[in-house]
Amino acid sequence: MYQPPAFVEHDLRKLHALICARPLALIITNGPDGLIVDPIPFLLDPTRGPHGTLRAHLARGNPQLQALAVVDEVMVVFQEANAYVSPGFYASKREHGRVVPTWNYSVVQVWGKPVVMDDTPWVHRQVENLTDLHESGRPDAWKVSDAPDAFVTAHMKGIVGLEIPIARTEGKFKLSQNRPAADHQGVVDGLAGSDDALARAVAEQMREA
């Protein structure tokens, strides 16, 4: 990933926070049949290993499983909200006009050796953990145990678990850090006033950063 120094994020807590906030990620393998990319929701265990460990599950019929069983490394890409940045947001446009459009975004990329977990109790626990996390806070929170046992057992046979101990992590938070303060504030104001929810989310990230 192209990493101008102004946008590099090394704080592992911030990188983990993005992973947890945006758990649906692209997992990329380069196996015997070439590149395969799939969107898969992940859980992060930050306590396992120096960079944490990712857990997930995928369909047994997914062709990527064959690659995951043989490759030495995969890449997983997590991305926060993103937004187009108009030159019209910049105070410097009115001063000298030497400005161009860009895009603001935050991305975390991780690498690690995948471990296929074809183990029913492991998969069951993974599905329960993922469900409980995303159902938490709902007044009518659904649990795996709400479904009939035979139905759950049949579905568990159709999925396979995955662990990825994270060996390396890169973060890029491109949030106009390279612009003068007046330009930065102009981008915040411009995105905050957008009809696009993603643009407003980026404005909030810029304020927090």
Give me the mean pLDDT over the 69-79 stretch: 96
Give the contacts of 43 (CB within 8 A, at least 6 positions apart). 23, 54, 55, 56, 126, 129, 130, 133
d(CA 31, CA 28): 10
Task: Give the residue extent of every domain in the chain.
Answer: 5-82+103-178
List Cβ neighbours of 109 (8 Å cut-off, separation of 6 or more). 1, 75, 76, 77, 78, 169, 170, 171
Chain segment 16-66, per-residue pLDDT in tens: 999 999 999 999 999 888 999 999 999 999 999 999 999 999 999 999 999
Give residue-wise pLDDT tens across range 156-193: 999 999 999 999 999 999 999 999 999 999 999 999 99
Give the strand pairing for 115-117 and 159-174: antiparallel
**Whether residue 76 has pLDDT greater than 90:** yes
Amino acid identity, position 112: G
Taking 90 as the threshold, does the pLDDT of residue 209 lie above it? no
* pLDDT score for 152: 93
With respect to CATH, is domain 5-82+103-178 assigned 3.30.1330.60?
A: no
pLDDT for 96-154, tens place per residue? Answer: 989 999 999 999 999 999 999 999 999 999 999 999 999 998 999 999 999 999 999 99
The pTM (predicted TM-score) of the whole model is 0.93
Burial code of 78-98, b = ≥16 C-beta within 10 A, e = fewer?
bbbbbbebbeebbbebeeeee
- Mean predicted confidence (pLDDT) in 68-93: 96
Q: How far apart are CA 191 and CA 197, in angstroms?
A: 9
Whether 11 has a pLDDT exceeding 90, the answer reads yes
Query: Residue 176's closest CA among 122, 124, 119, 99?
Result: 99
